[in-house]
Amino acid sequence: MATAAVTTERKNYLNAEYGIRSWLLTTDHKRIALLYLLSITLFFFIGGFFALLIRLELLTPAGDLLTADMYNKAFTMHGQIMVFFFLIPSIPAVLGNFLIPMMIGAKDLAFPRINLLSWYIYVAAGVLYIYCLATGGVDTGWTFYTPYSSMFSNTHVVEAGLAIFIVGFSSILTGLNFVVTVHRMRAPGLTWSRLPLFVWSHYATSIIMLLGTPVIAITLVLVVLERTLNLGIFDPARGGDPVLFQHLFWFYSHPAVYIMILPSMAVMSEIIPCFSRKRVFGYTFVAMSSIAIAAIGFIVWAHHMFVAGISLYSALVFSCLSFLVAVPSAIKVFNWTATMYKGSVSFSTPMLYAMGFIGLFTIGGLTGLFLATLGVDVHVHDTYFVIAHFHYVMVGGAVMGYLGGMHFWWPKISGRMYPEGWGRLAAVVVFIGFNLTFFPQFIVGYLGMPRRYWQYPPEYQVYNVLSTAGASILAVGYLLPMVYLLWSLRYGKIAPDNPWQATGLEWRTASPPPTFNFDETPEVTWEAYEYDKMPLPEEVTLER
């Protein structure tokens, strides 16, 4: 297999400089994206480890593997790590960081040093969280609900809260950088209506990061102050209101779901036209639906609180408002489907992930409507139905998008092709494993199994066994890309500049790109997604 072609490689961002300093002090957005890639992968595996513990514990009805306390910590840290340290930075900080400047024909993001700073902030928060984890962890549930978190929990709530407070700033700085970059750094001729939809979606995501994150930051500060200085703002025994905490928490944490899903939708809007060889259907609608999701996402938060004691009238209003989010989400799904219609669809790995995304996101989104319905939510609130719903959105949606995007842009990032056969296999394994894990949870949740318990009545066992079996398959599906992507770094075929014959500006430069992305600033005179004018990809890249 030692056929790694020795070529007279031109300078690119990977070989421009060597040594640890050139990575840790880099301001190149592409290198920072790779730093993020390494760090979020680490957290993905830590979070995955806790998922494994949860699924193993739930294999049998008795609480035999973990104690109740350990189980509480396991699901808490699974949630916090996956949400704050993996999903939220995943696509924006890795793919967004790598691609946005290239997609708009810029040399770098507007504030390269702030970009590096955001990674260091992420690392500082990560170290603090790992310290929290190593010294005993936290058991409040990822939501930090008061007064349990502020008064009663004997675990490391302060460290976890501060870690998430700090990681929020990394997210804010990334969002700030993206917004300013999109406004100020576009290449000549690249008008807003010519922007790739990837950029539009990330712009919407960044707005959520900028306007939502500070609210959770201050809320967690108040919880930390409450624990350390006994303030009592959220403590009902001292005249505080725990429901106020939930309002403030969900004001960010509901839109945070859109921080996870919008970038994934961004990836979809690139992959689907490319592998359908068609212009995206309804460009303006897809672009505007991103903005609409970001905006409407902020007025629906109390649907997490229907049984928390909010007023009935308020609950009714929030229930109705929640339905509104379905409109722009459906616009996207219908437009992607319409893009594939009568296109020449090829089932390459990224496209398999994209099609998986459409299916899973549709299920996740529609069950979201069940939960937004006041009467149904009272029945299934805090059951596995909710767990299944948000995993369909956050794993079935966000992670499928992340993996699809990683494959799609892997040739650009690494300069190597991944093995297509293995790629397709992994995509199918992920899809099967995912559904086997989470579909039974809809049923068992509907039957009444509550979330966050380490024991359950024996009649639920069959669903939990199915779920654990699915989780094992899913784990294999996630490990496979890890292995063959690393393998491809050395043994993969050298990637051409534009292996998929895609239209974006990022494909008009070398693979891997030079440090400043383009040899000369491109001038854009065309619209995005002119696939009708592109040749079909060469046979060599679609190795069958």
Task: Kindly tell me which of 48 and 161 has the beta carbon lying closer to other proteins.
Answer: 161
Q: Which stretch binds other proteins (CB under 8 A): 42-50, 270-278, 297-305, 499-507?
A: 297-305
> Which among 430, 537, 418 is positioned nearest to 479, based on CA atoms?
430
110 forms part of the interface with other proteins (CB under 8 A):
yes
Query: Which position among 47, 105, 240, 433 is part of the footprint of other proteins (CB under 8 A)?
Result: 240
Cα–Cα distances in angstroms (integers) from residue 199 to residues 22, 25, 359, 424, in the given order: 28, 26, 23, 27
Nearest approach in angstroms of CB 43 to other proteins is 24
Rounded distance, CA 167 to CA 348, Å? 35
Phi, psi of 521, deg, nearest 5: -60, 125
Placement of tokens 């794993």 in the chain: 395
* Secondary structure letter of residue 501 according to DSSP: -
Cβ-based neighbour number of residue 443 at 10 Å: 16
Q: Which two tokens mark 497? A: 């500049």
111 forms part of the interface with other proteins (CB under 8 A):
yes
The alpha-carbon radius of gyration of the chain (Å, integer) is 23
Query: Which position among 212, 401, 411, 470 is part of the footprint of other proteins (CB under 8 A)?
Result: 212
Task: Kindly tell me which of 249 and 463 has the beta carbon lying closer to other proteins.
Answer: 249
Q: Which stretch binds other proteins (CB under 8 A): 242-250, 352-360, 421-429, 493-501?
A: 242-250
335 forms part of the interface with other proteins (CB under 8 A):
no
Q: Residues 6 or more apart from 470 whose CB is under 8 A from it?
A: 432, 433, 434, 435, 436, 437, 438, 440
239 forms part of the interface with other proteins (CB under 8 A):
yes
x-or-dash pattern for other proteins, window 115-134, by CB under 8 A? --------------------
Nearest approach in angstroms of CB 36 to other proteins is 19
Rounded distance, CA 503 to CA 196, Å? 9
Nearest approach in angstroms of CB 206 to other proteins is 9
Query: Which position among 65, 70, 211, 465 is part of the footprint of other proteins (CB under 8 A)?
Result: 211
Nearest approach in angstroms of CB 480 to other proteins is 37
Q: CA neighbours within 13 Å on the CB side: how many for 463? A: 20
Nearest approach in angstroms of CB 13 to other proteins is 13
Residue type, 506: E
112 forms part of the interface with other proteins (CB under 8 A):
yes
Find out whether 238 and 232 touch, Cβ atoms under 8 Å.
yes
Query: How many residues bind to other proteins according to rule CB under 8 A?
Result: 56
Nearest approach in angstroms of CB 172 to other proteins is 6
Q: CA neighbours within 13 Å on the CB side: how many for 286? A: 35
Query: Cα 333 vs. chain centroid, distance in angstroms?
Result: 18
Nearest approach in angstroms of CB 495 to other proteins is 25
Nearest approach in angstroms of CB 210 to other proteins is 5
Find out whether 271 and 354 touch, Cβ atoms under 8 Å.
yes
343 forms part of the interface with other proteins (CB under 8 A):
no
310 forms part of the interface with other proteins (CB under 8 A):
yes
Nearest approach in angstroms of CB 300 to other proteins is 9
Query: Which position among 15, 41, 67, 230 is part of the footprint of other proteins (CB under 8 A)?
Result: 230
**Touching other proteins, residues 151-180 (CB under 8 A):** 172, 176-177, 179-180
Q: Which stretch binds other proteins (CB under 8 A): 38-46, 136-144, 246-254, 435-443?
A: 246-254
184 forms part of the interface with other proteins (CB under 8 A):
yes
Nearest approach in angstroms of CB 176 to other proteins is 5
**Touching other proteins, residues 57-96 (CB under 8 A):** none
Task: Kindly tell me which of 78 and 186 has the beta carbon lying closer to other proteins.
Answer: 186
Nearest approach in angstroms of CB 42 to other proteins is 28
Q: Which stretch binds other proteins (CB under 8 A): 5-13, 309-317, 397-405, 462-470?
A: 309-317
Find out whether 362 and 333 touch, Cβ atoms under 8 Å.
yes
C-alpha torsion angle, residues 104, 106, 110, 113 (rounded to 10) = 130
Task: Kindly tell me which of 70 and 117 has the beta carbon lying closer to other proteins.
Answer: 117
302 forms part of the interface with other proteins (CB under 8 A):
yes
Placement of tokens 């219908």 in the chain: 334
Cβ-based neighbour number of residue 201 at 10 Å: 32
Rounded distance, CA 496 to CA 386, Å? 44
215 forms part of the interface with other proteins (CB under 8 A):
yes
317 forms part of the interface with other proteins (CB under 8 A):
yes
Rounded distance, CA 336 to CA 210, Å? 28
217 forms part of the interface with other proteins (CB under 8 A):
yes
Rounded distance, CA 195 to CA 187, Å? 10
Rounded distance, CA 376 to CA 372, Å? 8
229 forms part of the interface with other proteins (CB under 8 A):
yes
**Touching other proteins, residues 363-392 (CB under 8 A):** none
Find out whether 33 and 93 touch, Cβ atoms under 8 Å.
yes
* Secondary structure letter of residue 448 according to DSSP: T
Q: CA neighbours within 13 Å on the CB side: how many for 405? A: 27
Q: Which two tokens mark 357? A: 């995304």
314 forms part of the interface with other proteins (CB under 8 A):
yes
293 forms part of the interface with other proteins (CB under 8 A):
no
Query: Which position among 521, 526, 536, 540 is part of the footprint of other proteins (CB under 8 A)?
Result: 521
Find out whether 103 and 505 touch, Cβ atoms under 8 Å.
yes
Adjacent-strand bridge partners of 450: 383
Find out whether 304 and 321 touch, Cβ atoms under 8 Å.
no
Three-class DSSP category at 514: coil
519 forms part of the interface with other proteins (CB under 8 A):
no
Which residues here bind other proteins, judged by CB under 8 A? 106-112, 172, 176-177, 179-181, 183-185, 210-215, 217-219, 221-222, 225, 229-233, 238-241, 243-244, 247-248, 251, 298-299, 301-302, 309-314, 317-318, 516, 521
